[in-house]
Amino acid sequence: MAEERDLKPAAKPGSEADRATTRSATGSGSMAEIEAWRRRIDSIDDQLMGLLNSRSACAVEIGKIKRVLGLPVYSPEREAWILERLMRENPGPLDALAVRRVFERIIDEGRRLERLGGDRRGDPPREDGPAVGEGQGGKGPERPD
């Protein structure tokens, strides 16, 4: 939800300040409309948080499996495939490069969680675990599912 500091007291109805605060760039709109949009964004943020945490839980599980199989965490072919697919299928209004930047960050965090390989939350990776490093080859791109 919007922070209290973002909510300013309403101007006196009919005043110049009131007219200025109720106009949008297109000449219509109101502070109430802005707040309604902000509430919608807050709701979407909550959904994104849930989805990001679900995706992260998948990365943790993949990390556990890769650790058992002795596979490297970093899979550049898989990451390239993900980014290309998302950029191609992006309906907008974000442009393709913006989508790439957002998902590069999401993928980076997923890779970090894979490295933890299911270690308890907040604990650093164990030093005694199997060596896992970036760019150590692999079997090509993973199945895109």
Predicted TM-score of the model (pTM): 0.61
Cα separation, 103 vs 97, in Å, equals 10
Cα separation, 5 vs 64, in Å, equals 43
What does the pLDDT look like over 128-141, one tens digit per residue? 333 333 333 333 34
**pLDDT band, very low/low/confident/very high, at 93 (cuts 50, 70, 90):** very high
Q: Could you tell me which CATH number the domain at 16-116 has?
A: 1.20.59.10
Tokens of 72: 């490297």
Report domain extents, the chain.
16-116
